[in-house]
Chains A and B, each alone.
Chain A
């Protein structure tokens, strides 16, 4: 099975900051990588698919990059509504779409 790791596990940031979250796969997954945002008490929301493609309706301050085993999610100009937990997910090995452990972004 493909294992996903994320770093950091949590971070503190301020409104207006630029934040970067890293996701690593245990083997080459090309660009088969998705990012989700989850706020407390809510279902996850798809942000990015295929490593760098922004889902419809997602603000452009969110961006993704990477391929192979190393990926990043960047939030430029952090907004109050962006404080949440972010998960990466590999979609290389269908149907076993495993998630990373999550990165919590909270207010500094």
Chain B
């Protein structure tokens, strides 16, 4: 079974740092793009960051650019999110997500087909 298990969430003070991890199992990690999506309490889904299968194509939401860093370790089959200078508005449940693609009518369409259960980050003084 394809599985993603997040860890590393905690309560931290504003300005602090955290590193989230996502352990992958059940599929070939090296073949898939990955992403982090967060959900603030009672709010909707927000894409945070993505990294392609080679690690060479990375993107960040404007809200986290310059503060968060996504990375992946193929040997350990782990996705990371390094979070610095944390703010109250970063408080959320952070999901690790697999980004897959399918060829439909000559185009590759991307979607998020496997989700972890999430890890909670709380930024509060």
Which residues from chain A sit less than 8 Å from chain B, CB to CB? 1, 30-32, 34, 36, 38, 43-46, 49-50, 53, 55, 87, 89, 91, 94-102
Q: Across the interface, do A89 and B112 meet the contact criterion of CB distance under 8 Å?
A: yes
Proximity string of chain B (72-95) to chain A, C-beta cutoff 8 Å, 1 when within and 0 when not: 000000000000000000000001
Contact partner of B111 (CB less than 8 A), chosen from A43, A49, A100, is A49
Cα(A36)–Cα(B45), bound, Å: 10
**A89 CB contacts on chain B under 8 angstroms:** 45, 111-112
- Would you mind naming 25 contact pairs between A and B with Cβ atoms under 8 Å apart? A34-B111, A34-B112, A43-B116, A43-B117, A46-B111, A46-B112, A49-B102, A49-B111, A49-B113, A50-B102, A50-B109, A87-B44, A89-B112, A94-B59, A94-B110, A95-B33, A95-B35, A95-B52, A95-B59, A96-B61, A97-B112, A99-B37, A99-B46, A99-B47, A102-B45
Expressed in whole angstroms, the minimum distance between the Cβ of A6 and any Cβ of chain B is 9
Q: Across the interface, do A87 and B102 meet the contact criterion of CB distance under 8 Å?
A: no
**B33 CB contacts on chain A under 8 angstroms:** 95
Most chain A C-beta atoms within 10 Å of own C-beta, residue among B102, B107, B110:
B110
Smallest Cβ-Cβ distance to A53: which chain B residue: B104
Most chain B C-beta atoms within 10 Å of own C-beta, residue among A43, A49, A53, A94:
A43
Q: Is B115 an interface residue (CB 8 A)?
A: yes
Cα(A32)–Cα(B45), bound, Å: 18
Expressed in whole angstroms, the minimum distance between the Cβ of B55 and any Cβ of chain A is 13
Q: Across the interface, do B35 and A91 meet the contact criterion of CB distance under 8 Å?
A: no
Q: Across the interface, do A101 and B112 meet the contact criterion of CB distance under 8 Å?
A: no
**A96 CB contacts on chain B under 8 angstroms:** 47, 59, 61
Expressed in whole angstroms, the minimum distance between the Cβ of B62 and any Cβ of chain A is 8
Cα(A99)–Cα(B112), bound, Å: 12
Q: Across the interface, do A43 and B109 meet the contact criterion of CB distance under 8 Å?
A: no
